[in-house]
């Protein structure tokens, strides 16, 4: 029997133990959702009827939905793998009878599955009360949105995995992780919709995997990308996932040859 479903469940159980942190995170996401909704709605209102196809209600819905998806997608970089490389604990991972990348991916999917409800529902509930939500009436966008969100979570994991593996070559990776977080905060569409970017920055964003992490799942689940366009965006996500997973496997293989673990 494959161990990976058990690792998904283990990831879910691990993160479900952090109840106080989860509640604090839900409150933080909701507060920032209110601030972001106010800013985006104010921007649209001052600009006229709409900005890049977003009217005030759609802009508010975008703000609440991105805050709901923020924790499951895990936009910000973590250094868990980098610390294991730095301490040599990665040698234990390499010695286990499971693929390190697939095991970490499965665990991260479990984490995201847990985060979806306690960190995702409060911002949406608050948004429904404060501004209302512009949600699709048909079930298809939600079904495609679930698939797109799952791939977005996976793309985010694969990108963070690649960035953390830089620790095989650098003694300190905090600068790299900070740069990644800054880029992700901007280019995923977390701050403002990617469609609001100037043309040159829009082109830069879409030449990276970042919109596939957050902007694409939000567009699909809200019905802004429907039918063929939704399938095209899902295909783009899958291409980025394959590229990043392949790059991560290559970096791990090369980095493992550099690994020296001292001890008896």
Helix axes 140-164, 56-73, angle to 10 degrees: 50
Gap between the Cα atoms of 52 and 66, Å rounded = 17
Mean pLDDT in residue range 180-193: 93
Asked whether residue 262 carries a pLDDT value surpassing 60, the answer given is no
Encoding tokens for residue 102?
A: 């697939």
Quote the tokens at residue 116. Answer: 């979806």
Q: What tokens were used for 132?
A: 């209302």
pLDDT at 261 over 70: no
Give the confidence band of 209 by pLDDT, cuts at 50, 70, 90. very high
Q: Within a domain: residue 263? A: no
Residue 2 φ/ψ, nearest 5 degrees: -65, 135
Least confident of 146-155, 184-193, 254-263: 254-263
Q: What is the mean pLDDT of residues 172-200?
A: 93
Alpha-carbon separation of residue 192 from 59, 64, 128, 252 (angstroms): 9, 12, 20, 34
How does residue 264 score in pLDDT terms, banded at 50, 70 and 90?
very low
Asked whether residue 264 is assigned to any structural domain, the reply reads: no
Q: Where residue 263 falls among pLDDT bands split at 50, 70, 90?
A: very low
Q: Is the pLDDT of residue 188 over 90?
A: yes
pLDDT at 259: 65
- 183 pLDDT higher than 50: yes
The pLDDT > 90 percentage for the chain reads 72
251 or 91, higher pLDDT: 251
Structural domain for 223, as ranges: 4-258
For residue 17, count other CB atoms closer than 10 A to its CB.
9
Mean pLDDT of the chain: 91
- What's the structural domain count of the chain? 1
pLDDT one-digit tens code per residue, 9-65: 999 999 899 889 999 999 999 999 999 999 999 989 888 788 888 899 999 999 999
Name the pLDDT band for 1 (thresholds 50, 70, 90): low
pLDDT value, residue 260:
59
DSSP state letters, 118-138: TTTHHHHHHHHHHT-----SS
Residue 246 has pLDDT above 70, yes or no: yes
123, part of any domain: yes
At residue 170, the pLDDT reads: 86
CA angle 236, 212, 173 (to 5 degrees): 120
Q: Is residue 67 part of a domain?
A: yes
pLDDT of residue 67 exceeding 60, the answer is: yes
Examine residue 14 and state whether it is found in any structural domain, yes or no: yes
pTM over 0.85: yes
> pLDDT tier at 227 (50, 70, 90 boundaries)?
confident
pLDDT at position 61:
95
Q: Decide if 179 contacts 173 (C-beta within 8 A).
A: no
Q: How far apart are CA 17 and CA 97, in angstroms?
A: 27
pLDDT in tens, 133-160: 999 999 999 999 999 999 999 999 999 9
């Amino acid at each position: 029997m494959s161990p990976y479903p058990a690792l998904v469940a283990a990831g879910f159980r691990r993160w479900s133990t952090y109840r106080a942190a989860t509640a604090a995170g839900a409150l933080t996401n909701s507060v920032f959702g209110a601030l972001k909704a106010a800013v985006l709605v104010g921007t649209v209102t001052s600009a006229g009827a709409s900005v890049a196809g977003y009217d005030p209600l759609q802009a508010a819905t975008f703000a609440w939905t991105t805050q709901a998806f923020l924790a499951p997608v895990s936009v910000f970089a973590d250094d868990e793998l980098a610390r294991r490389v730095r301490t040599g604990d990665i040698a234990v991972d390499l010695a286990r009878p499971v693929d390190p990348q697939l095991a970490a991916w499965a665990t991260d999917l479990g984490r995201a599955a847990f985060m979806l409800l306690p960190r995702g529902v409060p911002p949406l509930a608050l948004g429904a009360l404060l501004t209302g939500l512009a949600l699709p009436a048909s079930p298809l966008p939600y079904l495609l949105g679930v698939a797109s969100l799952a791939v977005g979570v996976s793309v985010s994991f694969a990108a963070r995995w690649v960035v953390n593996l830089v620790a095989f070559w650098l003694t300190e990776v905090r600068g790299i992780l900070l740069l990644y977080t800054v880029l992700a905060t901007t280019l995923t569409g977390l701050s403002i919709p990617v469609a609001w970017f100037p043309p040159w920055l829009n082109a830069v964003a879409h030449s990276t995997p970042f919109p596939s992490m957050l902007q694409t799942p939000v567009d699909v689940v809200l019905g802004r990308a429907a039918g063929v366009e939704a399938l095209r965006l899902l295909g783009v996500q899958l291409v980025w996932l394959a590229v990043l997973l392949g790059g991560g496997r290559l970096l791990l293989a090369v980095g493992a040859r550099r690994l020296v673990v001292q001890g008896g």
